[in-house]
Structure 1
Amino acid sequence: MSDEVEPGFVRVRLDLSYDGRDFSGWARQAGGRRTVQGEIEDALRTVTRSAETYELTVAGRTDAGVHARGQVAHVDLPEALWAEHRDKLLRRLAGRLGHDVRVWRVSEAPRGFNARFSAIWRRYAYRVTDHPGGVDPLLRGHVLWHDWTLDVDAMNEAAKPLLGEHDFAAYCKRREGATTIRTLQELRWERLPSGILEATVRADAFCHNMVRSLVGALLFVGDGHRPADWPGTVLAAGVRDSAVHVVRPHGLTLEEVGYPADELLAARNLEARNRRSLPGDRTTGGDAGCC
């Protein structure tokens, strides 16, 4: 599948962040719900005085209430429009966008770049406090309160069998025609000097509810309600387990998206679009979706 930019257009990369609490997720929705995509596309149309709305493609389609510090998107703009507005676009967007979403950088993307399919990993952080007094009021929109003392070592031990390429059907909300096979590259917990526990979760891509389900399973281990081998047993079963709790979205932040060197972008696009399966598994799906 070709990802060539149409003649007369230029692909523009946007690096952005947002506080997700007042958004109904990333993707534009019918019915007037406020979304990050809708907010930015409307602002782009307004500040460039365009009659047309130019659609954004994003690295990670975050759910309602999920935050982003290092989100990446791209948009294809007419060459004349880009030439006219490129030097003033960042400041004009800042003046138009709501206080809870910011574009930090706009740049002409290298050949072959696709914000979604060029990405080789996405890194999320989930933040939890087990302080008996609850969450610092200044952090309440970004940290989950867990009302049990958590054992970081136990959670890290339980995370080990989840690393690598697996079918994460047990931790994902299935979507028609989409694969749940992912490569989990990093999953670890640490207790920060502030006392907050931070999970770092990095994978080539994520299926729906995957991060929040993994965190929920590991919290059950950390507070002693489940043994350390339970998350791995759930994974091996390959089906959704009603005991796996999908934690609330406000503790989750997309921190960073990784891309290969410019000369490898086109090859990565093709690789990411390919359907994949595990050895001996004929079931495949075509979605390289996220979150």
Structure 2
Amino acid sequence: MTRIALGVEYAGDAFEGWQSQAHGRTVQDVLEAALAKIAGEPVRLHCAGRTDTGVHATAQVAHFDTGAIRPASAWVRGVNANLPPAVVVRWAVGVDADFHARFLAYERRYRYVLFNAPTRPALLAGRVGWFHLPLDESAMAAAVRHLVGAHDFTTFRAAGCQARSPVRLMHEAGVRREGQFLVFDFRADGFLHHMIRNLVGALVYVGKGRYAPEWMAQVLAARDRSLAAPTFAPDGLYLCGVSYPARWSLPGDGRIIALPQLPLI
């Protein structure tokens, strides 16, 4: 058997999440069907991080095992010829049998792009979040700094989160303005279910002046989901990179995959 790692990009608003479902309208379902056509056998994918309905990815990493011997180009161009327009395989490389897309990933990057204008976006509908009132990016940048470090993120996890521990190590958290867009970047060893969307919701509360930046530290320490803001829309959330130990010859030296520039920012 051969193990192949893939770099995958997709528009999450075209699918009902990553994880396979009986109806077949997920990223995993369409990818496995396309891979099976090239492999001539059923294929099972394992990804670095399952994304929810509406969440996008510029640099998802997945792997699969196959008995088929194919050139790398077949796992890219051949598979892409069998995929819908909203998902594409960017690269494919052979890896050792002990590589695992999920369990060996030691860091993940997410970006949330928020359109901050009185009226909703049209050309970027489904691809960016939206908030209509003016937001103070300086206050939000001050608030987000309280998230850096190892914390219990119970306040920002979904009720149905299945993670064994709510503790995560946040290496980087930032907010910046690019014209009418606010860009939130998060880099951590892992994330809880809905964690980033809940963080963005809380930061919007700070940005619109409902709370001072110090409130973020207080609500984080409270470990009480009911004290934070509602979960923000998935539209502007992107999985932008996954880091692996340098021994794996993945694009980007097996480390953080570069964050792309999204449209208009």
**Same structural fold, with TM-score higher than 0.5 when normalized by the shorter chain:** yes
- Which residue does 2:3 correspond to in 1? 11
Q: Superposition pairs for residues 115-126 of structure 1, below 5 Å?
A: 115-126=101-112
Offset, 1:215? 0.6
Quick one: which amino acid aligns to residue 205 of structure 1? G
Residues of 1 paired with 2:92 and 2:36: CA distance? 15
Q: Does 1:98 align with 2:84?
A: yes
CA distance in 1, matches of 2:39, 2:185: 38
1:138 positional shift: 1.7
How many residues were matched structurally? 248
Kept in 1, the 8 Å contact 2:156–2:228? The answer is: no
Is 1:223 aligned to 2:215, yes or no? no
SS at 2:225's partner residue? coil
| Contact 1:48–1:85 under 8 Å retained in 2 | no
Which of 11, 36, 40 is the aligned partner of 1:49?
40
Report if aligned partners of 1:110, 1:262 keep a CA contact under 8 Å in 2: no
RMSD: 1.8
Which residue of the partner structure matches residue 273 of structure 1? none
Distance in 1, Cα, partners of 2:163 & 2:202: 26
The match for 1:25 is 17
Please identify which structure carries the higher helix content. Answer: 1
Task: Report if the CA contact (8 A) 1:148-1:223 is conserved.
Answer: yes
CA contact (8 A) 1:24 1:64 kept: yes
Q: CA deviation at 1:239?
A: 2.1
TM-score normalised per structure 2: 0.88
* Alignment deviations for residues 164-219 of structure 1 (CA, whole Å, 9 cap, x no partner): 11111110024356211111111111111x42110001111111000000111001
Once residues 9 and 73 of structure 2 are traced to their aligned partners in structure 1, the CA distance between those partners, rounded to angstroms, is 20
Deviation at 1:111, TM superposition (A): 5.7
With the length of structure 1 as denominator, give the TM-score of the two structures.
Answer: 0.81
CA distance in 1, matches of 2:38, 2:202: 45
Residues 127, 199 of structure 1: 8 Å contact kept: yes
Runs of 4+ in structure 1 off by over 3 angstroms are: 84-87, 174-177
Structure 2 gap ranges (5+): 249-265
Contact 1:155 1:218 in 2 (8 A): yes
1:16 is paired with a residue whose SS is strand
What are the ranges of 5 or more consecutive residues in structure 1 without an aligned counterpart? 1-8, 264-291
Greater C-alpha Rg: 1
Cα deviation, residue 242, structure 1 = 5.0
Q: Secondary structure at the match of 2:123?
A: helix
Q: Deviations over 1:77-126 (max 9, x none)?
A: 12xx0x24544232111110001000011110246321111112111110
